Amino acid sequence: MNVLHVCANPKPTEESVSKQLSIAFITRLIEQVPEAEINNVDLYQDPPPHLSLAAWRGLWQAAFDPNHKITKEEQKATEYARGQAKLFNQADVLVLTMPMWNFGPPSIFKAWLDQVLAPGLTFDLGPDENGTVRVRPKHKIRRVILLVASGGVYHEGDARDGLTRTIRSALEFVGIERVQIAWADGQNPLFYGDHEFRKQTAIEAAQDLADELAEEFQTSWSASQ
């Protein structure tokens, strides 16, 4: 099992609830699947560039126009995206760790997403047998585990939640529908006296997701690895 873990949180683990969820998840997963290969991408250690014009030309314009010749500048501008796409396409499972910031994911994560979800890298765009243009995934990600913390209390579907909606929609576009979430909400101690209980509940939810993943791996896809 190849796991790509992308962390978008600058805080040390002892101060970050979402990072504590990721420790709980990964520790439990490795206990049960010791052979799991975990690739950690810490976006604050190795920050993604914002998508530039040269990178857009080298990725998107090249997909729209088959006559487009990628220049040296465009090739260089797409190096980060190509490196991350390689990790993405190797992964069976994607783990995302982040706080909610201003009702969405941290912008550093959005910058990563804009680099990685590009045609020719993690998916292709092309007509099916009826001539309708479709997205054809190049990755093999089976499921996504989203580990998130927020100060307020939200439920999925709450109009203020732009985090899970953005992530689900972007991943669904490239053919990933299975996004499972452990969400430590109510982490603002000034508003929520039960924030510690909420954190513990989310840690247990993260461990349950690891158990479920390990069981599915052992019962249905370990033989194919």
Ligand X SMILES: Cc1cc2nc3c(=O)[nH]c(=O)nc-3n(C[C@H](O)[C@H](O)[C@H](O)COP(=O)(O)O)c2cc1C
Asked if 17 touches ligand X (CB under 6 A), the answer is yes
Q: Which stretch binds ligand X (CB under 6 A): 37-45, 114-122, 149-157, 212-220?
A: 149-157
Element (H, E) at 56: helix 53-56
CB of 147 to ligand X, least distance (A): 9
> In terms of CB distance, is 57 or 198 closer to ligand X?
198
CA distance 77 to 54: 6
CB of 207 to ligand X, least distance (A): 17
Q: What are the backbone angles phi and psi of residue 76, rounded to the nearest 5°? A: -65, -40
> In terms of CB distance, is 60 or 103 closer to ligand X?
103
Asked if 149 touches ligand X (CB under 6 A), the answer is yes
CA distance 74 to 52: 9
> In terms of CB distance, is 90 or 200 closer to ligand X?
200
CB of 141 to ligand X, least distance (A): 23
DSSP E strands: which ranges in 81-220?
Answer: 93-99, 123-127, 133-137, 143-149, 179-184
Q: How far is residue 204 from each of residues 22, 164, 183, measured CA to CA in Å?
A: 11, 20, 11
Window 37 to 96, contacts with ligand X (CB under 6 A): none
Taking CB under 6 A as the criterion, the residue among 49, 83, 137, 152 binding ligand X is 152
Element (H, E) at 89: helix 79-90
Taking CB under 6 A as the criterion, the residue among 22, 78, 122, 150 binding ligand X is 150
Asked if 101 touches ligand X (CB under 6 A), the answer is yes
Element (H, E) at 42: strand 37-42
Contact residues for ligand X, defined by CB under 6 A: 9, 11, 16-19, 99-103, 149-152, 187
